[in-house]
Amino acid sequence: MAGKVVTFGEIMLRLSPPNFKRFTQTNSFDLIFGGGEANVAVSLINYGIPVDYVTKLPNNEIGDACIQFLRQFGVNTSNIVRGGNRIGIYFLEIGSSVRSSKVLYDREHSAISEANPQDFNWEEIFKGASWFHLTGITPAISQNLADICLEAVKLAKERKLTVSCDLNYRSKLWKYGKTANEVMSELVKFCDVIIGNEEDAENVLNIKAPDTDITSGIIVADNYRFVVEEIMKQYPNIKFAAITLRGSISASYNTWSAILYDGNKLYIGPQYEITPIVDRVGGGDAFMGGLIYGLLTNKEDLQTALNFATAASCLKHTIIGDFNLVSVDEVLKLMGGDTSGRVSR
């Protein structure tokens, strides 16, 4: 396993009403930090992979608290840039049964949204790195960040890093005049590994799975073969394409699986039934962290790599917060078929 992993993106303050309360009835909020690329970083740290997380945070006590939060898990924060006026915030109302979860963003004019290319010395950041990860969330925030992401992936490829991207479409973020397809289709040209959920490929790359209805709660893995084959046809630089498959029976009950394609063979992961869901936020990031680990440690056994990522992300749904706080042994236990949940003494 050569080199560290570098992840780049926005980390936010997350505020959630406790005990499944609605925004309109709560008088307190549970506070943590989270964000797609930071979530991946913590997953990898838990699996023993060294990670540098890169972002920009305000030079105030909230920025300090966020850095301390990351450091307690072992993430290297030495390349975090300080400056700007505020940290982005997102409010999460956790749904239950037939009531969906709800997210409200308060992230305009955050420190990273107003970052500029001079803030990040990628030559220095990539020293000793073998992998670079980003998501479609970051270039959706501002034109400046889209430019920074493009500069970073180009240099990463020059330095022969593996580049991964979670397409992560967020309709509420693309406000600065460019479409997701315009920006992401260029970024994807420099990526080796792409993941998305059932809708991301359609919303970002205009590639839709035929004969699918995500609102039905039934997701057929083989229906997404067309999506991963078409991704590789349009972007021949991609070595691995994965789609996570969530069957949303209710807010509290999902099925969960995934597929992985290497250009020759389609691998289908196990399907898990997850109920009751404790917190589904970060499930895709947990899959990405598991897949990076799997490809770093089991590149010759892609089925095992996929199974690890699928099991890891299944476990995330049982953990409050954005981070997937599980060990390799816990993931392997679930991969081995132990879904009993018996007390470990």
What letter would DSSP give residue 101?
P
Backbone phi, then psi, for 80, in 5-degree steps? -75, 130
DSSP per residue over 107-172, as a string?
-TT-TGGG--GGG--HHHHTTTEEEEEEETTHHHH-HHHHHHHHHHHHHHHHTT-EEEEE----TT
**233 contact partners, CB below 8 Å, separation of at least 6:** none
* Distance of alpha carbon 210 from alpha carbon 192, whole angstroms: 25
Centre a 10 Å sphere on the Cβ of residue 111 and count the other Cβ atoms it contains: 23
Residue 178 · residue 149 · CB < 8 Å: no
The span from the CA of 42 to the CA of 56, in Å, is: 18
Task: Report residue 244 as tokens.
Answer: 């996570």
pLDDT tens digits, the chain, 345 residues: what are they? 568 999 999 999 999 999 999 999 999 999 999 999 999 999 999 999 999 999 999 999 999 999 999 999 999 999 999 999 999 999 999 999 999 999 999 999 999 999 999 999 999 999 999 999 999 999 999 999 999 999 999 999 999 999 999 999 998 899 998 999 999 999 999 999 999 987 898 999 999 888 666 555 567 788 889 999 999 999 999 999 999 999 889 999 999 999 999 999 999 999 999 999 999 999 999 999 999 999 999 888 999 999 999 999 999 999 999 999 999 999 999 999 877 766 565
Q: Is 255 in contact with 275 (CB distance < 8 Å)?
A: no
> Which residues, 6+ apart, have CB-to-CB distance to 275 below 8 Å?
252, 253, 254
Q: How far apart (Å, rounded) are the C-alpha atoms in residues 225 and 245?
A: 12
CA angle 149, 181, 234 (to 5 degrees): 95
pLDDT in tens, 269-320: 999 999 999 999 999 999 999 999 999 998 889 999 999 999 999 999 999 9
- State whether residue 341 is helix, strand or coil: coil
CA dist., res. 113 & res. 8, Å (int): 13
pLDDT tens column, 312-323 = 999 999 999 999
Cβ proximity of 198 and 226 under 8 Å? no
Please determine, looking at this structure, whether the domain spanning 4-335 carries the CATH number 3.30.390.50: no
User: Which strand (E) or helix (H) includes residue 196?
Assistant: strand 193-196
Distance of CA 148 to the CA centre of its chain: 19
Q: How far apart are CA 74 and CA 72, in angstroms?
A: 6
Do 310 and 258 contact (CB within 8 A), yes or no? yes
Q: How far apart are CA 121 and CA 131, in angstroms?
A: 16
- Give the distance, in angstroms, between the CA of residue 135 and the centroid of all CA atoms in the same chain: 7
* Alpha-carbon span 186 to 152, nearest angstrom: 13
Of the candidates 322, 290, 301, 296, the residue with the CA atom closest to the CA atom of residue 130: 296
Distance CA 128, CA 117 (A): 21
Give the residue carrying structure tokens 């991964």.
Answer: 164
Structure tokens at 341: 């949940």
